[in-house]
Amino acid sequence: MKVRVVLTILLIFCFVSSLAIAMQNHGDKEIKIDGGKKGTISFPHHMHQDTIKDCNVCHSIFPKAKGAIKDSIAQKKLKKKQVMNKTCLKCHRAKKKAGEDHGPTSCLACHVKE
């Protein structure tokens, strides 16, 4: 009887844990962002979700939708480079200054001409 209870609890724990992991990452794993004349940006979306753990850090600035940055710029809700300069680079540079793992700290490290 005890073995059955322990196994049931273990199965429930595994199910809940796997469900939590699956729910953690939303959207595409990798997102291609139109970077204008400097080239496309390959944005590792899930890696950022795992690192930052708060979607609102970025999505308080623009909605959770494909093409949201480009659309927001076209609608004059965002300025060009606003997200990259005030969110991405600001965070990466702060992490670098703190001696932590960080992303690229220059424009051309992300933009790739195809």
Give the model confidence (pLDDT) of 23-68 as tens digits.
Answer: 456 889 999 998 888 999 999 999 999 999 999 999 999 999 989 9
Q: 4 exposed, middle or buried (CB, 10 Å; 0-12, 13-18, 19+)?
A: exposed
| pLDDT bucket at 2, cuts 50 / 70 / 90 | confident
| pLDDT bucket at 7, cuts 50 / 70 / 90 | low
Percent of the chain clearing pLDDT 90 (strictly above):
61
Strand duo 31-33 + 111-112: pairing: unpaired
Q: How far apart are CA 10 and CA 17, in angstroms?
A: 10
Q: Where are the domains of the chain?
A: 28-112
Q: Hey, what CATH topology would domain 28-112 get?
A: Cytochrome C3 (3.90.10)
Residue 79 in 3-state DSSP?
A: coil
Q: Is the pLDDT of residue 94 over 90?
A: yes
Percent of the chain clearing pLDDT 70 (strictly above):
80
- Give backbone dihedrals phi and psi of 36, rounded to 5 degrees, phi first: 70, -145
pTM listed for this prediction: 0.72
Q: What is the pLDDT of residue 42?
A: 94
First to last CA, the chain: 63
Q: How far apart are CA 75 and CA 71, in angstroms?
A: 6
